[in-house]
Amino acid sequence: MLPQNTYQPTKDFFKNTFCIFNEVPLSVIEERKPDFKSTSGSRYYYTQAGMFRLSNHWGKLANSKWRLVAMEPPSSTKIKLGFAKWEAFFPDNDLEKLYYITADFENHTAEYYHKNCPDYNGKAVVRTYKETQKRLKNIRNILTLTNWAKPYAQDIEVLRRNIIHELIHTDKTLAVIKSEADKV
């Protein structure tokens, strides 16, 4: 259980930010009163190290992009508790190139991250949010669908890796990348 805290972040610290929260058990905030309640019903618990957020909605919020990484195994409740350290909040806007994409070929998933995340190695192209979302949609389709691969001679998994690598690491369009791939 967390003790009631006197720490208060600066007013509106969360506006125009990107952050990845990690899901934690609800028991962490047991019997603690929230430091803030939003009009949408989310509850916030502040600590010196970071913030807990209890909510039934995650992702693109009014003016922020907050993602929740689920516990293993994922909890079955709709309301999730996430924690993020203060230094995990990064500035966000629609004009700057702030985001890059990674793909997980084993799980057929892809996500976007802020260029200030400590894992960024400088190799993936950094794009605006809108450009990133367009690429991410293409990548997710390549990862999960199969019809697009019928005209190609290569093994679909090899083809997926090659196309997605190009989508992540170059500014080539999907049409150009596909045209450069070996067809039957």
The average pLDDT across 49-58 equals 94
Choose between 1 and 14: higher pLDDT.
14
3-class SS at 179?
helix
Which pLDDT does position 158 carry in this prediction? Answer: 94
Question: Alpha helix locations (H) across the chain?
Answer: 129-144, 156-169, 174-180
User: pLDDT at position 183, please?
Assistant: 63
Residue environment code for 132-156, b if the CB has 16+ CB neighbours within 10 A, otherwise e? beebbebbbebbeeeebbeebebee
pLDDT, tens digit, for every residue of 120-164?
999 999 999 999 999 999 999 999 999 999 999 889 999 999 999
Per DSSP, helices labelled H in 32-108 are none
State the pLDDT at residue 61. Answer: 79
What the block records as the tokens of 103 is 């793909």
Q: What is the pLDDT of residue 184?
A: 47
Taking only the tens place, the pLDDT of each residue in 11-48 is: 667 789 999 999 999 999 998 999 999 888 999 999 99
Domain boundaries, the chain: 17-90, 99-180
Amino acid at 181: A
